Structure 1
Amino acid sequence: MGVKLAVKMINLDPRAKIVIVLCLSTLAVFFNTPGLLLIVLIITLLLLQIFQVKYISLIYKFRRLLPVLFVLLFIQSAFTGHGQVLVAFGDVHILTTGGVSSASCVLLRMLILFGSAMIIATSNSRDYVLALVELKIPYEIAFMVLIALRFLPVFVQEAKDTLIAIQLRGVDMQKVAWGKKIKVFTYIFSPLVSNVLLKANQLAISMEARGFRLYPRRTYLRVLKYNSLDYLITILSLSITLVVLTLSIIR
């Protein structure tokens, strides 16, 4: 039964998945308390489990943001000054409950946004182009989204290759001073930007050669169709989000 549910959820119409992501993202941006954001995060993780997405790696990667969150924790405690003081140095508030709450909200919000975005990865990128076109979004914008989804991993890999090439020349990034690190990063981004411009030029030439935008309308071999489960998921997602937002505003 669980396998059948996972298959049905993975095969959802891309438009239904877009609605789910928009609802989760809206709740993540709207809520400002750790308790409510934690509930939204649990719902997001349950959806990722249903979609059979391996989200453990996402949580593991967020350990790199812990230093930033600690800095934010102390900044919020020192400058906002709201909440009960937990640690103080004279008149300076080092740690407050308000600072802990703000830092927790940032962490939970980022986990929700990145987790909900992982739902998008359960469908083919071409399906999202068709979904955006079905939502009356111009094809040019939908095609731009497709290009971003296709080429962003390529650019990330090129940046990693350039960094590895610099390290093979004996440059240890962990031992380089911050002043020189900026200079090293210019060596990384210069070839990366050059490759991006070259790929963009090649893509533009190939698009012109294939008659991109030659006719005002395009035809598609595959047509997306909403089934009963798609309608149910869409209506439930929108209804729950609207009810929760309305109750939060009234209170």
Structure 2
Amino acid sequence: MKSIINDQVEYDSTRKSLKHGDTTIILSPSTARLLDLLITHKNQQLHREFIIEEVWEKHGMVPSGHSLNKSISVLRKAFSELGAENPIETLPRQGFLFHAAVRDASTSSSEDQDRRLVPKTEMAVPSRKAKYVKIFVLILLIALIASTFFIVKTFNTGTRNFIYIRTVGDCQLYTADDNNADKTKAFLSSDMWRKVNSVCHSGKKTIVFYDDNNLSASNSLKENFLGVCSLDKRGAAHECENYIY
């Protein structure tokens, strides 16, 4: 496995090598195990006893404090020879801290290769954030068109027009012009109106549209239609709720 340390030094744990530019340094097995341990626990304080156990004792070796110090020194010298800053900090009487950014080199390489394969004349692929912004704008545009269509349909549908009934609180009530006074009175005393008229006292300007669905003389469904739409500051309808009862 290859890793990039501090965006500069490539570490190949299989070959036990550190590389930068044309310079490659091969590490001993124990020094490579030490570096693996430091990378695994990067930015964490590691006690000397823990390091000695993981790097030497678990592999059947009898180490000493001198072995650890020597391997630390080898790693520092290797980073120095590769032109990199020393990433290993000594914590007196405690242990060591490996403060470095480490990323997978294979992922980086594949991404770089993909970028090289894209012709310069091609447009860049939009980021995920840009896609979400475009989707949001599209939804907003559809909602605006739908609200405009609702208003046009509500107040002008062929030969039928719609008339203002009255204002109740924050609501403006409209109905089809072929609904007579008795139908309007029946609607204003219906259970459905009592169910929804609380919106007229919510502080939001609202349009309420009522129709008895009298589509033709032969229509036998006799369903009532109710549309309740909030008005924005520009007077456009939005957040519509439709009921058939």
TM-score of the superposition, structure 1-length normalised?
0.18
Query: Whose Rg is larger?
Result: 2
TM score, norm. by length of structure 2: 0.18
Larger relative contact order (Cα-Cα within 8 Å, sequence gap ≥ 6): 1
